[in-house]
A and B are shown apart, each in its own frame.
Chain A
Amino acid sequence: MTYQANEKGYYGDFGGAFIPEMLYPNVEELRSQYLDIMKEESFQKEFNYLLKEYVGRPTPLYFAERFSNKYKTKVYLKREDLCHTGAHKINNTVGQILMAKRLGKTRIIAETGAGQHGVATATVCALMGIECIVYMGEVDIKRQAPNVARMKMLGATVVPAKSGSRTLKDATNEAIRDWINNPVDTHYIIGSVVGPHPYPDMVARFQAVISEEIKIQLKEKENRENPDYVVACVGGGSNAAGAYFHYLDNPEVGIIAVEAAGKGIYTGESAATSALGKEGIIHGSKTLLMQTYDGQITEPYSISAGLDYPGVGPMHANLFRTGRGEFISITDEAAMQAGIELAKLEGIIPAIETSHALAIFKDRKFKEDDIVVVNLSGRGDKDLSTYIDYFNL
């Protein structure tokens, strides 16, 4: 039994490609070539070169001593916040822009919620001199003005998504519509392990560098490759997929997925998909998603725009259903407190998404000699105004 995707793009019951025929040629072109392209030596060379020299990898695996003392266990932080542009998102966009080039594409589209993936996409497009169009919900454009400005500085066109609830899921719909309208020259860089096969698997493979490095670094520090637990926050699930990737099929390593409970799981303002979601289809993938009894997709809520997605990637739906992953949800309040705490204890201001992962230590107790790796998916610069408003700083 494996927790990786099978060749049809299924993780257990979840995944697949539920796409309209209009998308079939685009998705099929990618599906039939992505593994071969990724295996090419020249691709690997260029990918690794850019990860090292441009993104700044390997990112440190940092032993958080004061944090560990407080929670009486051994906590390592995988410092994805130190990546260029401030989050793990760029691992994927570097991989996908190289993929797009090899497929001969000359135009890139992407969706973004908070703007982190939009910035990471605009960045690699600037690097490669390729046209970049980012769809972003009208509501998010107002909430995330600095990231909109960053994308514009990087030469991208930001197109407001005006349909539906005008947030991330609608931006994704608009990007998919754009791809339907531009089937030949355009590559769609999806920002997480969501969407139709091969996206969840491809994005997970590009993010897998996270756990590849953890193995090497932990070996150096602790003389063992495997921690007792890997912890990551889950919006769509890409940073989590990368942190789990090389541990998925190793039962010695516990997998902990942290979702956003918003104002509380049952308040109607939450993004805790594993608790609230039912099996269904969103953006071309069969997975768990938040929906009405009638199958209409509902709007999630979280203080962190990056966790504000009504579904999870199919890998995570399967980890939840099979019990391989332990799923915890964290409220806005608990996440915000954990963010401030890390800043005070370790001098690291995390992204609010990441703060959710850090917040589990209050209630989830570990043994003193457990080694727990938390994927520190991003830095808090983008969230300063939220921190300021929340704590009256």
Chain B
Amino acid sequence: MNRINKTLNGDKKLLSIYFTAGYPKLEDTVKIIKDLETSGVDFIEIGLPFSDPLADGPTIQESSTQALKNGMTTNMLFNQLKDIRETVKIPLIIMGYFNPMLQYGVEKFCQKCQEAGIDGLIIPDLPVNVYNEEYKAIFEHYGIINIFLITPQTSEERIRFIDSVSDGFIYMVSSASVTGSTKGFGEDTKAYFKRISAMNLKNPQIIGFGINDKETFNQATEFATGAIIGSAFVKHLTASGTNKTSSFIKALRDL
């Protein structure tokens, strides 16, 4: 069984953290992963930086631009992650845009993920139908779970369809927005969380986008198996560097 499914089986409210690989410094990737694990994070999304991240707000864009300036590449990321499974046990997911994967070769990318012990991928601009028709067999061959997104605008029919082709979890985008908005959750958003929760989907849901503190984390996990924090952690790295990860995580949840 894939590490993602194992982790989701427990009844703990899961905390996942996103960060951009190669940011703030090129060589920070492994340290950040290890510190996140020892701080009690349940799984990690490692951002493969892209020049034109359409679904991301300014925080993740800027960290991506900086990571690329630092010299991050697909090859470099796989080199950095080569020995990660000697120490790190929690699920690791790479989140990135499709073009760099396409240039690397989708099959080679999946193979490298398997070698490094990466459990899943989140590729916002690879649509479900293209994945099913062209890439599903490759992902399955290498045991890589592909995670799909839903939003408040996704129709019930399409949610059921995405659920039927998903494994691991469904990434529930909290609001109609790019990453990094900090509006907090209003009644509409909570109604959407409830609506999805009541659909009894086969896959658990993890909520992401707009979660930036303990309050929003708790609100989200009231309705879902877990929540993902991205921009807020990247901001923390920008402001406080890589030595204060555990205090950031501690402030997020009651242990």
Contacts and interface: CB of A to CB of B under 8 A. Distances in A.
B58 to A, nearest CB: 7
Interface in B94-134: 97-104, 124-128, 130
A329 interface: no
Nearest to B150: A21
A54 interface: no
B77 to A, nearest CB: 10
A176 interface: yes
Interface string B26-69: 00000000000000000000000011111101100110010010
Contacts of B104: 294-295
B54 A20 contact: yes
A180 B61 CA distance: 15
B100 A22 contact: no
A185 B137 CA distance: 38
A358 interface: no
B30 to A, nearest CB: 20
Nearest to B96: A295
Contacts of B130: 16, 18
Interface residues of B, number: 42
A17 interface: yes
A22 to B, nearest CB: 5
A293 interface: yes
Contacts of A22: 55, 124, 149, 151, 153, 173, 176-178
B98 A281 contact: yes
Nearest to B68: A296
B135 to A, nearest CB: 12
B246 interface: no
A278 B103 contact: yes
A237 to B, nearest CB: 19
B203 interface: no
A176 B177 CA distance: 11
Given A21-B124, A24-B158, A282-B52, A182 B176 contact: yes
Interface in A126-181: 163-164, 169-170, 173, 176-177, 180-181
A60 interface: no
Contact of B124 (A20, A169, A177, A282): A20
Contact of B58 (A25, A163, A281): A163
B80 interface: no
Contacts of A170: 52
Contact of B99 (A173, A180, A281): A281
A183 B61 CA distance: 21
Contact of A291 (B103, B124, B149): B103
Given A25-B154, A294-B74, A282 B103 contact: no
Interface string B138-178: 00000000001111011100100000000000000100111
Given A18-B98, A181-B176, A297 B51 contact: yes
A181 B100 contact: no
A76 B50 CA distance: 44
A298 B99 CA distance: 13
A183 B102 contact: no
Contacts of A177: 54-55, 57, 178
A17 B127 contact: yes
Given A25-B154, A278-B103, A18 B177 contact: no
A254 interface: no
Contacts of A182: 176
A296 B50 contact: yes
A50 interface: no
A280 interface: yes
A180 B50 contact: no
B98 to A, nearest CB: 6
Interface of A: 16-22, 24-25, 163-164, 169-170, 173, 176-177, 180-184, 278-284, 291, 293-298
27 contacts: A18-B130, A21-B149, A21-B154, A21-B173, A22-B176, A25-B151, A25-B154, A163-B62, A164-B51, A164-B61, A170-B52, A173-B52, A176-B54, A180-B54, A180-B177, A180-B178, A181-B181, A183-B176, A184-B176, A279-B102, A281-B98, A282-B52, A282-B99, A294-B104, A295-B101, A295-B104, A296-B51
Given A22-B124, A181-B178, A291-B103, 9 more contacts: A20-B55, A21-B154, A21-B173, A25-B151, A173-B52, A177-B54, A180-B178, A281-B102, A283-B54
Q: Which 9 A-B pairs have the closest CB atoms?
A: A295-B103, A295-B100, A20-B124, A21-B149, A296-B51, A25-B153, A20-B55, A295-B99, A281-B99
